[in-house]
Amino acid sequence: MKRRWSLFIIIIGFLMLFSTLYFYDKGVNWTNGNNHSSEEINSDEFMEVNLFYYNKLKDVDITCSHEYVLPVKRNVKKSESIIKETIELLLKGEITNEERVNGFDTEFPNNEFVLLSHSLSNGKLDLSFAEVSGFTSGGSCRVSLLASQIKKTALQFPDVNEVNILPESIFQP
């Protein structure tokens, strides 16, 4: 009887392993809540964007340099407000377990810290955020990294040459 149970457990284990490999091979995207196959993601409806987060493993000397704010890829539905939606996705702070293991980290999300408005004119993007007491202040390292995550995420878009975060006092140490 024990032998049957052992065989049964082994078979179940193999089925779980093969189903995991099957879904991985099919490109099912479990990381951002959109379970689209790779064929769907590559359609004209979706666009690959980068969300920039701080990578603490790369910053071995803890310099808090902007060079350690690095991209992670996400697939988002194309829209007229793709910049706004990408910034809002960044603010959700949804870093996968694999990305965390690889050193990525963020202090987003904060439910009160939201994008209030945005405007793009002549390559200049103004992003206005809600002021949240204590969230956007602190040491210069922390606030610099938060601002850098937002700016780098916005600057990936070809129409954006400059990013202004408003109010100007929001990311002051």
The number of beta carbons lying within 10 Å of the beta carbon of residue 127 is 21
What integer pLDDT is reported at residue 104 of this predicted model? Answer: 97
Per-domain residue ranges of the chain: 45-166
Asked, as a colleague might, if the bond just before 173 is cis with ω within 30 of 0, I would say no
What integer pLDDT is reported at residue 87 of this predicted model? Answer: 97
Residue with the two structure tokens 């959700």: 92
Q: What is the pLDDT along the chain (173 residues), one digit of tens a residue?
A: 666 656 556 666 555 544 544 444 444 443 444 444 444 455 689 999 999 999 999 998 888 899 999 999 999 999 999 999 999 999 999 999 999 999 999 989 999 999 999 999 999 999 999 999 888 877 888 899 999 999 999 999 999 999 999 999 898 87
